Amino acid sequence: MGKITYKRLKGSQNMRQRLLLATLKSTPVLIEDIHADDTLPGLRPHEISLLRLFEKLTDDCLIEINETGTKLKYKPGIIVGGSHLVHDCGVSRAIGYFLEPLILLGLFARKTLVIILKGITNDSKDPSVDTFRSTTFPLLKHFGVPSEGLKLEIKSRGVSPHGGGEVHLAIPTVQHLTATMWTDEGMVKRIRGEAFTTRVSVQLGNEMIYAARGIFNRLLPDVYIASDYRKRSEAGNSSGYGISLVAETTSGCCISADTTVSYPRGDEEEDIEGEEKKELIPAADVGEKLASVLLEEIEKGGVVDSTHQGLLFLLCALCVNDVSKVRVGKLSPYGIETLREIRDFLDVQFVIKPDPSTGTVILKCWGSGMKNLSRKTT
Partner 1 sequence: MAMDSGADGQSHKAHRSRHSGASAKKKTKAKNKDQNSDQKQQNPKAFAFRSNAKAKRLQSRAVEKEQRRLHLPVIDRSYGELPPFVVVVQGPPQVGKSLLIKTLVKHYTKHNLPDVRGPITIVSGKQRRLQFVECPNDINGMIDAAKFADLALLLIDGSYGFEMETFEFLNILQVHGFPKVMGVLTHLDKFKDVKKLKKTKQRLKHRFWTEIYDGAKLFYLSGLIHGKYPKREVHNLARFISVMKFPPLSWRTSHPYILVDRFEDVTPPERVQMNSKCDRNVTLYGYLRGCNLKKGTKIHIAGVGDFSLAGVTGLSDPCPLPSAAKKKGLRDKEKLFYAPMSGLGDLLYDKDAVYININDHFVQYSKVDEMGGTTNKGNKRDVGEALVKSLQTIKNPIDEKLEKSKISLFSQNPNSSLEAEDHNRDSDEAPKLIRDIEPLKQYQSNGEEDESEFDLDSSESSDQDEGVPEGAMLKSEGRNFEEGNADASERLGRVKEQVEFHNGRKRRKAIFGDGVDHSNLKSNEGDEDDDDDDDDNDEGENDRSNEDNESCSGSEFSDGDEEDLKSEDDGMGNISKWRASLVERASKKQNINLMQLVYGKSASTSNTSANEVKDDSENEESDEDEFFKPKGQRAKNSIEGLDGGNINTEDCSKSTKFSELKNWKEEEVYESIRDRFVTGDWSKGALRNQMLEAKTEEDDMDGDFEDLETGEKHESHQKDDSSNGGIQKEDDDAIEERRLKKLALRAKFDAHYDGSESPEEETDVQNGGKFHRSQANDSGYYDKLKEEIELQKQINIAELEDLDETTRLEIEGFRTGMYLRLEVHDVPFEMIEYFDPCHPILVGGIGLGEENVGYMQTRLKRHRWHKKVLKTRDPIIVSIGWRRYQTTPVYAIEDQNGRHRMLKYTPEHMHCLAMFWGPLAPPKTGVLAVQNLSNNQAAFRIIATAYVLEFNHAARIVKKIKLVGYPCKIFKKTALIKDMFTSDLEVARFEGAAIRTVSGIRGQVKKAAKEEIGNQPKKKGGQAREGIARCTFEDRILMSDIVFLRAWTQVEVPQFYNPLTTSLQPRQKTWLGMKTVAELRREHNLSIPVNKDSFYKPIERKARKFNTLVIPKALQADLPFESKPKNIPHRKRPLLEDRRAVVMEPHERKVHALVQHLQLIRNDKMKKRKLKEEQKRKEVEAQRAKDEQVLRKRRREERQERYREQDKLKKKIRRHVEA
Note whether 133 binds partner 1 by CB under 8 A. no
Alpha helices for the chain (secondary structure H) = 15-25, 45-57, 95-107, 129-131, 137-141, 202-216, 274-277, 283-300, 309-317, 333-346
Nearer to partner 1, 166 or 248 (CB): 248
Number of residues that bind partner 1 (CB under 8 A): 112
State in angstroms the smallest separation of the CB of 312 from partner 1: 11
Quick one: which segment of 81-89, 192-200, 238-246, 328-336 binds partner 1 (CB under 8 A)? 328-336
- In DSSP notation, 151-189 reads EEEEEE--BTTTB-EEEEEEE---S-BPP-EE-----EE
Could you tell me which stretch among 120-128, 143-151, 163-171, 199-207 binds partner 1 (CB under 8 A)?
A: 120-128
Q: Does 146 bind partner 1 (CB under 8 A)?
A: no
User: Of 20, 21, 34, 235, which lies in the binding site for partner 1, with binding defined by CB under 8 A?
Assistant: 34
Q: Which of 22, 243, 246, 365 binds partner 1 (CB under 8 A)?
A: 365
What's the CA gap between 110 and 57, in Å, rounded?
Answer: 10
Residue 124 C-alpha from the chain's centroid: 12
Taking the mean position of all CA atoms in its chain, how far away is CA 377?
A: 31
Indicate the pairing of strand 165-171 with strand 113-119: antiparallel
x/- string (CB under 8 A) for partner 1, residues 201-220? --------------x--xxx
Is residue 127 close enough to count as binding partner 1 by CB under 8 A?
A: yes
Are the C-beta atoms of 171 and 106 separated by less than 8 Å? yes
Stretch that binds partner 1, among 114-122, 151-159, 199-207, 324-332 (CB under 8 A): 324-332
Query: What is the pairing mode between strands 323-328 and 240-249?
Result: unpaired
Residue 216 vs 229, nearer CB to partner 1: 216
Of residues 151 and 364, the one with the C-beta less far from partner 1: 364
Three-class DSSP category at 218:
coil
Q: Does residue 231 interact with partner 1 by CB under 8 A?
A: no
Per DSSP, the residues of 99-158 read: HHHHHHHHHTSSB-EEEEEEEBSB-SSS--HHHIIIIIHHHHHTTT--TTT-EEEEEE--
Residue 345 touches partner 1, criterion: CB under 8 A: yes
Please state the closest distance from residue 236 (CB atom) to partner 1, in A.
20
334 is a site residue for partner 1 (CB under 8 A): yes
Element (H, E) at 219: none
Site mask, partner 1, residues 49-88, x = CB under 8 A?
A: ----------xx----------------xx----------
- Which residues ranging from 267 to 296 are in contact with partner 1 (CB under 8 A)? 273, 275, 289, 291-293, 295-296
- Residues contacting 48, CB < 8 A, separation 6+: 69
Binding test (CB under 8 A) with partner 1, winner from 156, 208, 327, 329: 327
Is 278 within 8 Å of 308 (Cβ atoms)? no
Quote the CA–CA distance of 152 and 135 in Å, as a whole number: 12
Give min distance, CB of 69 to partner 1, in A. 12
What x/- string results for residues 4 through 23 when contact with partner 1 is judged by CB under 8 A? -xxxxxxxxxxxxx------
Interacting positions 248-267 with partner 1 (CB under 8 A)? 250-251, 257, 259
Where does this chain touch partner 1 (CB under 8 A) — which range of 150-158, 194-202, 233-241, 369-377?
A: 369-377
Residues 6+ apart with CB under 8 A from 130: 122, 154, 194, 196, 244, 258
